[in-house]
């Protein structure tokens, strides 16, 4: 049933958003490095890699520069127009094509690069591989401002990601896999829209009282 809703929502969204996509594609073509789309290998269902689509927002060689596949706030690798696309999350919208093709779902664990996926605890990795990754999900909602979180830490950013963010994000994705249902699917769609409108809202704690508790190092951010 979820697959039917995925097809319906992704098709409808692509039709509605086409007038937005066209000017964005033109701007990207004639600014930055002239790339419109960026396809990055991510880990999908069953641990199989797939090509995740985004609008191009960073330098082509970004994975080999700085913090590699972990992006921080005001990352110097981000192109000027890319800042706007990332802040509004518009850069993620080409993944509607991934959903239509069956690589992803509207809701699910956020698909990770191999480096970030391997930073998750083994139990989280095994749980995540059981379902399709999602355009949004509980991990994506709670860590929607992850770049700022990393930027505000005085310690090594990659170490903070590996020691605190990855384990907690993994536990959130485990929670989703264990509790997934159509009810949670629609609640997470609503919450995704809500936090885009009200970016400071933490209403998700009221929706789901049994979410794993964050560590003391993360509580101030979440």
For 174-190, the pLDDT digits (tens) are: 999 999 999 999 999 99
- Whether residue 82 is predicted with pLDDT greater than 90 in this model: the reply is no
The pLDDT value given to residue 115: 92
Count other Cβ atoms within 10 Å, centred on residue 6. 23
Which residues are within 8 A (CB) of 162 and not within 5 positions of it... i.e. 6 or more apart?
119
pLDDT over 70 percentage in the chain = 91
- Whether residue 60 is predicted with pLDDT greater than 90 in this model: the reply is no
Please name the residue ranges forming H helices in the chain.
Answer: 2-29, 80-87, 95-101, 114-117, 122-128, 138-142, 146-151, 157-160, 166-179, 182-197, 204-207, 216-219
Distance separating alpha carbons of residues 176 and 172, to the nearest angstrom? 6
pLDDT digits (tens, 9 = 90+) for 102-128: 999 999 999 999 999 999 999 999 999
Residues in the chain: 222
pLDDT digits (tens, 9 = 90+) for 122-145: 999 999 999 999 999 999 999 988
The pLDDT value given to residue 80: 81
pTM of the model: 0.87
């Amino acid at each position: 049933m979820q697959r039917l809703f995925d097809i319906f929502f992704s098709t409808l969204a692509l039709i509605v958003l086409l007038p937005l996509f066209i000017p964005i594609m033109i701007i990207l073509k004639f600014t930055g490095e002239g790339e419109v789309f960026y396809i990055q290998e991510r880990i999908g269902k069953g641990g199989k890699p797939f090509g995740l689509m985004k609008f191009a927002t960073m330098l082509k060689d970004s994975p080999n520069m700085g913090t590699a596949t972990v992006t921080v706030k005001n990352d110097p690798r981000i192109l000027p127009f890319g800042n706007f696309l990332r802040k509004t999350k518009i850069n993620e919208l080409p993944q509607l094509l991934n959903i239509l093709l069956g690589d992803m779902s509207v809701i699910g664990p956020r698909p990770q690069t191999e480096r970030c996926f391997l930073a998750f605890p083994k139990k989280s990795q095994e749980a995540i591989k059981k379902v399709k990754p999602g355009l949004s999900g509980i991990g994506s909602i709670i860590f929607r401002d992850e770049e700022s979180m990393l930027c505000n830490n005085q310690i090594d950013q990659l170490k903070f990601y590996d020691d605190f963010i990855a384990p907690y994000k993994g536990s959130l994705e485990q929670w989703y896999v264990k509790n997934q249902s159509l009810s949670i699917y629609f609640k997470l769609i609503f919450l995704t829209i809500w936090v885009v409108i009200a970016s400071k809202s933490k209403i998700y704690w009221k929706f789901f009282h049994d979410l794993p508790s964050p560590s003391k190092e993360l509580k101030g951010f979440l």
